[in-house]
């Protein structure tokens, strides 16, 4: 950490919505080490889809800067089951939080978007200027579009009011502390859990959705946290910025690698009646490096090992506690 970073964060009051979550927990740790004062609104105290709740939160937090991470998220299954909730809750949170931040003359508002905002057939690697060249992949379009409205709002408020808000587009995140709930987890924790449980139960096969052909890019959670804080420190434009690692792996190769790292040796059966999701995902990450010096540091296999080790330790601890 540089002296400039310490000076930027020292005694700054930062409200981190979603600060108790997966990515939020790493951002909060990094903010504490940089000397920031942090306020984390909890879901029990505040319903961030309601303006009166948002106003109460701002009254209590009195932030200089907001990092808005809170979202209703999930994998393909959760998106298909709850499209209306995913649209409404994410839209209302983002739009009202940013508006009230403007009303209170906050120094800066950092909005976290999603790679699901990109059109289904975006040329690879995804460039920020391609964001509006088509409709998102159908299974997560309501979520992706709800989050993308914060980009529209950020640009409109900067144009009319000169308000300083920024919009980042992180690729799929993974790492320790991720959500391993089978009902709502994303692909990496879902596959890690599936392989470990099959190995433990001595199963000779597991089932995976789709045909394994789609590709994905993944960013280790600590890298993502660092990128977000660098943007908060150095970036002051409403042009969207991708946050990613620049790597690409097929779901088939990903599952093969997870099986190897978890020690699962059985067969993999692909259920082609289930949706694949977006065909390819890989970001052009040059803007983040150019604008605020962000480059991912953690090697993918190393990151997967850390994630698997954390989950194994957690389940062991949980089982001992029963």
Phi-psi region of 175 (alpha: psi -120 to 50; beta: other; left: phi over 0): left
116 phi and psi angles, rounded to 5 deg: -65, -10
Two tokens, residue 226: 């660092």
Catalytic residue chosen out of the listed positions 46, 102, 143, 235: 143
Distance CA 95, CA 90 (A): 9
Query: Quick check: is 143 catalytic?
Result: yes
Distance CA 274, CA 109 (A): 38
Distance CA 286, CA 148 (A): 21
Distance CA 306, CA 286 (A): 27
Give the residue ranges of DSSP H helices in the chain.
3-9, 22-33, 51-61, 76-81, 83-103, 141-161, 187-201, 221-234, 251-262, 286-292, 300-321
Two tokens, residue 212: 């394994």
Asked if 210 and 270 touch (Cβ cutoff 8 Å), the reply is: yes
Residue 269's SS3 state is: strand
Asked if 17 and 38 touch (Cβ cutoff 8 Å), the reply is: no
Strands 205-209 and 65-68: unpaired
Active site residues: 143
């Amino acid at each position: 950490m540089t002296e400039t970073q310490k000076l930027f964060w020292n005694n700054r009051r930062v409200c981190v919505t979603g600060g108790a979550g997966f990515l939020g927990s790493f951002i909060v740790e990094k903010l504490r080490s940089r000397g920031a004062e942090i306020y984390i609104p909890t879901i029990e105290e505040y319903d961030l889809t309601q303006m009166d709740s948002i106003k109460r939160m701002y009254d209590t937090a009195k932030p200089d800067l907001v990092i808005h991470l809170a979202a209703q998220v999930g994998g393909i299954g959760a998106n298909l089951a709850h499209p209306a909730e995913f649209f409404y809750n994410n839209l209302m949170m983002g739009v009202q939080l940013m508006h009230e931040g403007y009303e209170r003359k906050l120094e800066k508002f950092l909005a976290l978007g999603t790679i699901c905002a990109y059109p289904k057939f975006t040329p690879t690697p995804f460039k920020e200027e391609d964001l509006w060249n088509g409709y998102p992949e159908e299974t997560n379009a309501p979520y992706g579009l709800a989050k993308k409205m914060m980009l529209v709002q950020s640009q409109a408020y900067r144009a009319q009011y000169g308000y300083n808000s920024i919009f980042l587009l992180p690729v799929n995140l993974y790492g320790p502390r991720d959500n391993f709930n089978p009902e709502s987890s994303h692909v990496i924790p879902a596959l890690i859990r599936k392989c470990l449980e099959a190995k433990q139960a001595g199963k000779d096969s597991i089932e995976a959705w789709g045909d394994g052909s789609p590709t994905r890019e993944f960013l280790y959670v600590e890298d993502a946290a660092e990128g977000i804080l660098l943007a908060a420190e150095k970036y002051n434009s409403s042009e969207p910025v991708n946050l990613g690692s620049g790597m690409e792996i097929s779901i088939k190769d990903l599952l093969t690698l997870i099986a190897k790292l978890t020690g699962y040796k059985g067969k993999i059966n692909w259920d082609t009646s289930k949706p694949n999701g977006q065909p390819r995902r890989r970001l052009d990450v040059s803007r983040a490096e150019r604008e605020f010096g962000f480059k991912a540091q953690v090697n993918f296999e190393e990151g997967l090992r850390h994630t698997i080790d954390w989950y194994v330790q957690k389940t062991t601890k949980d089982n001992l506690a029963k």
